[in-house]
Structure 1
Amino acid sequence: MKRLKISQPECWLNVILIVLFGVLIALLVSACSPDQAANADTSSSNSDKAAQATETTQSTPSVQVTEAYARAVPPNSPASAVFLTLHNNGEQEQRLVSATSNVANVVELHNHVKQDGMMQMRKIDHISIPAKGKTTLKPGGLHIMLIQLQQPLVVDSTIAVTLHFADGSEQALTVPVREISSMMQQHH
C-alpha cells in the first residue's frame, strides 16, 4: 500500500479550507434560522413597547410572549409583579418553571386562589401553556412575583426578565413598566 505524501504547507491549506467551509455552513444555517425570522418580525412590528416583550435569546421556538408589562410601584415597595401572555404554537404542552430579573432578589411564580372565602396569593411550581393554546398571566390570577426589589419600578422604564422553561430553554425579555389601576393593585 502506497502512502500519499502531503507537504506541510499543503496540509495547513487543507485544514484552513475545511475550517472556512465549516464557518460558511454555520453562517448559512444561522441565516436561515426560524428564530431570527421570528425576532425580525417581532422587532419590525413592535411599535407599542407595552404590548410586546423584546430581546428573545435561546428562545423556546413554540412559545411566544406578548403583552408583557411590570406593575409600577412607589419607592421602598418590597414587591411588584409581571404580567404577560404565553402563546404555545407547538404540539406539546410547555411549562414555565421559573423566572429571574435584574430588579428583584427573589422571583416566584404565583397564583391567586380562593380559600375560606378570601383570595390569597400562593407560590406555584410551574405555569402550563397548553399545546396550540395560550396562558395569560394577569392581575388577580397567575403572575410572576418580583420580591425584595432592588430599585423602584417607574412608569415608562423597562426591566429585564428571563423566563425558564421545563425543557431547559429560556427567553430573555425587556419588559415595560406600566401603571395599573388601583382596583387591580389590591391583588398584590
Structure 2
Amino acid sequence: MVGPALAHDYQVGDLHIAHPWARPLPPVVPSGAAYMVIENRGNNQEILVDAHSPIAEKVEVHEHVHVDGLMKMQRVDQLAIPPGAEVVFKPGGYHLMMFGLKQPLEAGERFPMTLVFTDGGSIEVQVMIEEKPPSTTAHDTHSADIERSEHQHH
C-alpha cells in the first residue's frame, strides 16, 4: 500500500504542475474550485485553453478581478504561461471553476482533471481534496518532526 504523498507533482514536456487541490464541499453545492501551480520550464510560451473533469459538467479557468471596488470572478479563455514563469492558482486568484458537480468533494479523496494546452498537449492530474491549502514540503517535514518529538515526551 502506498499512502498519499504530501506533495504530488506532474511533469509533461516543459510543464511542471505542483499539488493540485480543492476544498471539500457538501453534496448540495453545485460548483467548486481547484487550485495548483503550473510552471513553464521550457523556452516557449504555453497557453492553457481548457480543462475538464468527469466529476463536473464543465470546468472553466477563472480569475478574481476588482471592478469598481467589488471583487468578481471572470472567465479567462486563454491563460498564457511565459517561459520560465509560473502561474499560481489559489483562493482569491486564478482558479479552475467546476460547474455542475456530479459528486460531493469529500476531504481525503481525489479526482482526475485534464488540462488542455494550445499545442494540443493535455495533462491529467489528480486533484486532492483538502481542508486547507498545501504548505511547502519543507514545512510539512518540519511540522512532522515537531509532532514526533512532542509524542516522545508523553
Scaled to the shorter chain, the TM-score interval is 0.7 to 0.9
Task: Give matches, 1:40-79, under 5 Å.
Answer: 49=5, 51-53=7-9, 60-79=12-31
Q: Is the 8 A contact 2:33 2:97 kept in 1?
A: yes
2:102 maps to amino acid: Q
1:63 maps to amino acid: L
Q: Is the 8 A contact 1:72 1:180 kept in 2?
A: no
What residue ranges of structure 2 are gaps of 5+ in the alignment? 134-154
Q: 1:124 to 1:79 in 2, by over 3 A?
A: same
Deviation at 1:104, TM superposition (A): 0.4
Choose between structure 1 and 2: higher helix proportion.
Answer: 1
Task: Give matches, 1:104-119, under 5 Å.
Answer: 104-119=56-71
Q: 1:117 to 1:50 in 2, by over 3 A?
A: farther
Q: Tell me the alpha carbon deviations over residues 115-158 of structure 1, each in whole angstroms, 9 at most, x when there is no partner.
A: 01010000110222110121111110101001110000000000
Identify which of 140, 148, 159 aligns with 2:92. Answer: 140
Task: Give matches, 1:16-165, under 5 Å.
Answer: 49=5, 51-53=7-9, 60-165=12-117
Choose between structure 1 and 2: higher strand proportion.
Answer: 2
Deviation at 1:103, TM superposition (A): 0.8
Deviation at 1:48, TM superposition (A): 5.6
The structure, 1 or 2, with the larger RCO (C-alpha pairs under 8 Å, 6+ apart) is: 2
Q: 1:111 to 1:50 in 2, by over 3 A?
A: farther
**Alignment RMSD:** 1.9
Q: Is the 8 A contact 1:50 1:68 kept in 2?
A: no
- Counterpart of 1:166 in structure 2 is 118
In 1, Cα distance between the equivalents of 2:23 and 2:73? 16
Q: 1:69 to 1:92 in 2, by over 3 A?
A: same
1:91 maps to amino acid: N
Q: 1:130 to 1:47 in 2, by over 3 A?
A: farther
Larger radius of gyration: 1
**Secondary structure in structure 1 of the residue aligned to 2:108:** coil
Q: Is the 8 A contact 1:53 1:175 kept in 2?
A: no
TM-score by length of 2: 0.79
1:52 maps to amino acid: H
Identity percentage of aligned residues: 33
Q: 1:114 to 1:137 in 2, by over 3 A?
A: same
Q: Is the 8 A contact 1:50 1:176 kept in 2?
A: no
